[in-house]
Chain A
């Protein structure tokens, strides 16, 4: 076996071991995540909790702030996504109603209403 071939064999073997170790045996561990990377079911439940709390607190600004933790999209999008997920996953009608109420109120009261010229 030539020197070149031995080098390439070692390189390939090392690369394989490195990838195996880095991806499988000791992958990067994410311990300080934010709600925007939550799995869909947890994310939808987060939105449902927000809607439940909103039902009692009637504080739309607080609900918006809670939903903002899920990412940079408009809060209404997260509620609509949660309703879609809820319909697929068999949420109870009362839960869907709770989510829907928050969606309706968010739609009716945009956070940054467009200022129009008189």
Chain B
């Protein structure tokens, strides 16, 4: 009898619940119109990242770029930028973007990014555009990333065979330095061999130096290398013949150091 009396209420409850959920999820769901960049779809996020890098390349304002990247809440921004630089490089016609991405990745590697909280609506926005001072600032902050002197070509200053079994593979290691001896990121390196070619940038492994890049060589293959800002290609590069502590041969590595000549007075 008691069960029979509660049945209508339970039936109404179930019906009401279903209607409420249908209305709130389908008919009139919570509308998000004021979203932040972290909610962007993956392709838009990639475009946003590319835009951050392009803006950084134009202004050299690393703090602003760091803040913009923090809004995206990426777990490893420098690595993401490096991967994007490589994929943009593979796509034809996107070299400018690839270079910008690589330069920003290198700059971030020098000073790792801290993940910031996205400001909530109404909160004081940490907008990089809102200048904390009213005083006009017509000049931009100089880029902390070393950059090559325009017009000066890099020259090969050192070529060294490296026999280090700890490397585990035969590497073509490239170090690009400016006239002051600082590593220069974002320099394109072209490696060519009989069956193919590869292009990459310095600075994509910032933990090894801003001007560092490397390429894995196959034993028995001869490579040629050219920097985008060097006039003379380096030819005849091949894995060095090294001998281990017990007399066993193994393929070694080559280290090439390029540097800009000092600017003439």
Residues of A within 8 A of B (CB): 3-4, 6-23, 27-28, 30-35, 37-42, 44-46, 48-50, 52-53, 55-57, 66, 69, 86, 89-95, 97
Q: Report A-chain residues with C-beta under 8 Å of the C-beta of B57.
A: 53, 56
State the CA gap A20–B71 with chains docked (Å).
30
**B20 CB contact (under 8 Å) in A21, A39, A89:** A21
Q: Report B-chain residues with C-beta under 8 Å of the C-beta of A3.
A: 5, 8
**Contacting pair A19 B34 (CB below 8 A):** no
Q: Report B-chain residues with C-beta under 8 Å of the C-beta of A41.
A: 125, 127
Determine if B36 is an interface residue (Cβ-Cβ < 8 Å): yes
Q: Report A-chain residues with C-beta under 8 Å of the C-beta of B128.
A: 45
Determine how close the nearest CB of chain A comes to the CB of B141; give it in whole angstroms.
11
**Contacting pair B41 A22 (CB below 8 A):** no
**Contacting pair B96 A21 (CB below 8 A):** no
Determine how close the nearest CB of chain B comes to the CB of A77; give it in whole angstroms.
17
Q: Report A-chain residues with C-beta under 8 Å of the C-beta of B39.
A: 30-33
State the CA gap A49–B58 with chains docked (Å).
9
State the CA gap A13–B15 with chains docked (Å).
10
Task: List 12 other contacts, CB 8 Å, given A11-B19, A37-B34, A39-B121.
Answer: A6-B8, A8-B12, A9-B9, A10-B10, A13-B16, A18-B16, A19-B23, A33-B40, A34-B41, A38-B35, A92-B136, A92-B137
State the CA gap A4–B68 with chains docked (Å).
58
**Contacting pair A11 B36 (CB below 8 A):** no
Interface of A is mostly: helix
Total number of residue pairs linking A and B with CB closer than 8 Å = 186
**Contacting pair B24 A14 (CB below 8 A):** no
**Contacting pair A52 B59 (CB below 8 A):** yes
A16 and B41 contact, Cβ closer than 8 Å, known pairs A38-B35, A39-B34, A94-B138: no
**Contacting pair A13 B13 (CB below 8 A):** yes
Determine if B90 is an interface residue (Cβ-Cβ < 8 Å): no
Q: Report B-chain residues with C-beta under 8 Å of the C-beta of A97.
A: 138
Of the candidates A19, A38, A45, A86, the one having the most CB atoms from chain B within 10 angstroms of its own CB is: A45
Q: Report B-chain residues with C-beta under 8 Å of the C-beta of A20.
A: 20
Q: Report B-chain residues with C-beta under 8 Å of the C-beta of A17.
A: 13, 16-17, 20
Contact residues of B between 105 and 155, Cβ < 8 Å to A: 121, 125, 127-131, 134, 136-140
Of the candidates A11, A23, A48, A95, the one having the most CB atoms from chain B within 10 angstroms of its own CB is: A11
**Contacting pair A22 B9 (CB below 8 A):** no
Interface of B is mostly: helix
Determine how close the nearest CB of chain B comes to the CB of A88; give it in whole angstroms.
10
Determine if B237 is an interface residue (Cβ-Cβ < 8 Å): no
A15 and B17 contact, Cβ closer than 8 Å, known pairs A9-B12, A49-B68, A55-B58: yes
Q: Report B-chain residues with C-beta under 8 Å of the C-beta of A14.
A: 12-20
A10 and B34 contact, Cβ closer than 8 Å, known pairs A18-B24, A92-B131, A94-B140: no
State the CA gap A77–B181 with chains docked (Å).
47
Q: Report A-chain residues with C-beta under 8 Å of the C-beta of B68.
A: 45, 49
State the CA gap A94–B29 with chains docked (Å).
41
A50 and B51 contact, Cβ closer than 8 Å, known pairs A10-B12, A11-B16, A33-B35: yes
**Contacting pair A23 B24 (CB below 8 A):** yes
State the CA gap A71–B19 with chains docked (Å).
34
**Closest A-chain residue to B138, C-beta based?**
A94
Determine if B91 is an interface residue (Cβ-Cβ < 8 Å): no
**Contacting pair A16 B44 (CB below 8 A):** no
Determine how close the nearest CB of chain A comes to the CB of B131; give it in whole angstroms.
4
Q: Report A-chain residues with C-beta under 8 Å of the C-beta of B54.
A: 49, 52-53, 56-57
